[in-house]
Chains A and B, each alone.
Chain A
Amino acid sequence: MLRLILTRIFLGCLTLFAVTILIFAATEILPGDVASAILGQGATPETLAAFRIELGLNRPAYVRYFEWLSNALQGDLGTALTNKREVLATITPRLINTLFLAGYAAVIAVPIAIFLGIVAAINEGKWIDRAANIVSLGAISVPEFFIAYILIFIFATNLGWFPSLSTVYSDMGFWQKIHVVALPSITLTMLVTAHMLRMTRASVLAIMSQPYIEMAFLKGLPRNQVILHHALPNAAAPIISVIALNLAYLIVGVVVIEVVFVYPGVGQYMVDGVSKRDLPVIQACALVFGGAFVLLNTVADILIIMVNPLLRNSR
């Protein structure tokens, strides 16, 4: 098992390395010359040339790539071109904010999704199964900003229970943050629950047609016990990977929610970076996002190995 896990970790690192190449290549082919995008209207041939040298753009791409990679490995993400601030110092609080929001939403969404998924599977075809399906599918089929605006309209503008601006600052206490970030995390919960719920329900039901489940029924066990003890452990693998996928989405895919709720996360930082062609910022954000994706998927793979008796006991 250890060998399998080590292989996974090695593959994860390899993927991340490939991601860095992609990131660098993508920023190289961003439309428009970087120097002229930053200088804008004030660009003259002399200032452009001076600025290219300042940015080091006159050197070949692969030299710059390895320089960037080795700096990033040592924790140096460079300085933003636009406001000359340390990228690492700016991105760290924003990453913490992003992780806070993602964690907050996950803590609500994952238990609800798995619980409702199992309940739906136990009561397949009954009203509670249908209700869970309809509500979760309804939530996922409207765009996220629409849910967000409806929640703002009801809970912020009319009832005044929660603020419509979810901006968090470093001087806020934990419970104050929980209150301020309530609406975006509920919005995200509504977005990711359906996917996990449906996957839980489907994989439990898929196991239900297996011969050993029939055997359990023939033993005279009640349906809920069969599902909890015999079906669920074997259905864990697809559920774990869909949870990992959704957690990754909560970290990297919430820029719209960040905009609507004015939440200072990494997504907004990256969008600002792209619109100003601020290369170190774009590269750092892409690296963080890529890293989150690879990390979560590797963890999911390892967990899947660990819950699978066949793989767990191999060697």
Chain B
Amino acid sequence: MEDYSNKLKQLEPLVATSGVSRRDFIQLAMMTGLSVTAAGSMFSKAVAAGTPKKGGTFRMGMEGGSATDSLDPRTYADSVMIAASLAVYNGMVEFDNAGNPIGELLESWEAKPGAVEWIFNVRQGIKFSNGKTLDADDILYSIGIHRSGDTKSPAKGILAQISNIKAISPSQIAITLSGGNADFPVIMGDYHLVVVPNGFTDWENPIGTGGYTLASFEPGVRLVFKNRGDYWKEGRANFDTVELLNIQDVAARTAALQSGQVDAVNRLDARTVDLMKKNKDLNILRTKGTGNRFCFVSRVTSPGFSNKDLRLALKWGIDREKIIESVYSGYAVPGNDHTLDAYNPYYNTDMPQRKYDPDKAAYHFKKSGLNGEITLSTSEGAWGSAVDCAQLYQESMAKAGITLNVKKESADGYWSNVWLKEPFCAVYWARRLSADQTFTQVYGSGSDWNDSDWRVPAFDKLVEAARVELDEEKRKAQYFECQEMIAEDGGMVCFGITDYLDGYSSKVMGTQAHARYDMNDLRIAEKGWFA
């Protein structure tokens, strides 16, 4: 019952954008015990509520900020500054809720066959908050600050593939890549790539094309934004004022939301979220399986782990469901031994989800001809609950007759001393922008971060072919095969992908799950409104 009414709350905002039909809505409403008439009037109300209304002060309490924050896009690293940035600036490319790139300030694009040469069209008639009109030079400058010689921008790496970039008219940009990449528009959606006027350097007084302007900024404490009044996106930027408070502590965030001091918070605690769902004034939004990917990674070049049967035993011998239930209170989805998530358009839906099977684990272990113990290095430094997960793994392996030693390493220096060094250790991976980026960075032969040391020329060839493939059907087949290769042969046991949990006051509308980030792609200030 609780679950249904919560679902219903989540559906209401979708009604207006015709994401939910009247029939589905009423059906769900009746499951919560409402009569047809009541449900019908609720639907009409939801339609009305679905039309964005202007006004109000929207207060967000978020984790992921620090006293060292700045509105210089080359310094962004966490949620607070990404959300702040998207209130003041616009990106080059936006993503729809399913995760597909759609035009933002780069309105549309086209690739020549081979995906090496690209033409991007700059959106026309857009004004910066200082009155200047957007043109191609602003875009060139905004990309250039991440590429110039001594820049410290984290986006430098992903932009290294650009070999030539120029404006062919005030409304068009031509980009030539060093090699074909059909996913290039996705790269342009990276959160560091926001647009400022040509030559802009005064990062304390940012000028952007976003829906709000910055009113005050105390790093690590609070950001205040005022509505600009003439935002170019219809139905967006609806609040008069937006306040973004830094609240690092999850209990403090929860208390602030419950006592009505803020209207929205990010990263709720999975252990208490069920209690919060019972509160009618709150709307808990869960985005399934787009968070961190938790893995135990073996290096396939190490003695023992070079045996494919042993790796299969490791994959069959982990009880994913149990770990998710007991460590993450059910707020995660099982991983299928690769780091792509179900929101990715190329996620392999044909491959069956691997489940705990002690018999199969025992069979492969026996077939491997190895006996003796396996040692798994883990630490709080890998991720908060990595040790708990490893201990549950140990239990489920023991039921298959395999002895797994859990070796607890120091959290300090875990990434430099254990990761990429120990033959079998705990690792988490964050979501990558595209399937290509995932496969290249995590499993590509040329990647320094290929932590399973699984370097397979046939796989690299497949990824390279898919990168320049503009035929969607063919590309999908190639990426499906990539996932099968990794899951079947690779050294990674990816057992779970966490959910994002946002909390909203029930009067906040426009809250939807998004494929990329929580809080509606960290754009809730732009997309939301008060009922």
Contacts and interface: CB of A to CB of B under 8 A. Distances in A.
B259 A262 contact: no
A83 B72 CA distance: 8
A152 B255 contact: yes
A174 B222 CA distance: 20
B75 A83 contact: yes
Interface stretch (A15-23, A34-42, A215-223, A300-308): A34-42
A165 B219 contact: no
B219 A260 contact: no
Contacts of A104: none
Interface string A60-91: 00000000000000000000101111000010
Given A31-B412, A83-B69, A259-B252, A47 B220 contact: no
Nearest to B220: A272
A238 interface: no
Most chain B CB within a 10 A radius of its CB, from A85, A93, A149, A281: A85
Contact of A80 (B68, B151, B245): B68
A37 B152 CA distance: 12
B68 A82 contact: yes
B247 interface: yes
A160 to B, nearest CB: 6
Contacts of B75: 82-83
Interface size class of A (residues with CB under 8 A): 35 or more
Interface string B153-173: 111110000000000000000
A10 B66 CA distance: 38
Interface in B227-280: 245-249, 251-252, 255-256, 258-259, 261-262
B61 interface: yes
A41 B154 contact: yes
B413 interface: yes
Contacts of B72: 83-84
B218 interface: yes
B256 A169 contact: no
B70 interface: yes
B218 A264 contact: yes
B221 to A, nearest CB: 4
B258 to A, nearest CB: 5
B458 interface: no
B152 A42 contact: yes
Given A40-B154, A42-B154, A165-B256, A82 B251 contact: no
A50 B148 CA distance: 13
B252 A90 contact: no
Interface in B42-83: 61, 66-70, 72, 75, 77
Contact of B251 (A84, A260, A273): A260
A264 B154 contact: no
A93 B256 CA distance: 24
A38 B70 CA distance: 14
Interface string B166-189: 000000000000000000000000
A269 B156 CA distance: 29
Nearest to A269: B67
A164 B261 contact: yes
Contacts of A269: 67, 220
Given A40-B154, A42-B157, A276-B68, 13 more contacts: A42-B152, A42-B155, A85-B219, A93-B218, A164-B255, A164-B256, A164-B259, A169-B218, A260-B252, A268-B67, A272-B67, A273-B67, A278-B68
Contact of A38 (B152, B204, B251): B152
Interface residues of B, number: 39
Contacts, number: 105
Contact of A31 (B155, B252, B255, B413): B413
Contacts of B261: 163-165
B150 interface: yes
B222 A169 contact: yes
A157 interface: yes
Interface string B1-13: 0000000000000
A283 to B, nearest CB: 14
Interface in A203-222: none
A273 B247 CA distance: 17
A39 B250 CA distance: 28
B7 to A, nearest CB: 26
A7 B8 CA distance: 74
Contact of A272 (B66, B77, B151, B218): B66
A275 interface: yes
B75 to A, nearest CB: 7
Nearest to B70: A83
Nearest to A170: B218
Interface in A229-262: 259-262
Contacts of A264: 218, 220-221
A276 B152 CA distance: 14
Interface string A278-290: 1001000000000
Contacts of B247: 165, 262
Closest 7 CB pairs of A and B: A83-B70, A82-B68, A272-B67, A164-B255, A272-B66, A264-B221, A42-B154
Given A41-B157, A47-B152, A262 B67 contact: no
A226 interface: no
B252 A164 contact: yes
Contacts of B249: 259-260, 262
A141 B133 CA distance: 63
A124 B315 CA distance: 68
Given A47-B150, A51-B152, A165-B245, A90 B67 contact: yes
A112 to B, nearest CB: 27
Interface string B354-369: 0000000000000000
A262 B66 contact: no
Given A41-B154, A83-B75, A156 B255 contact: yes
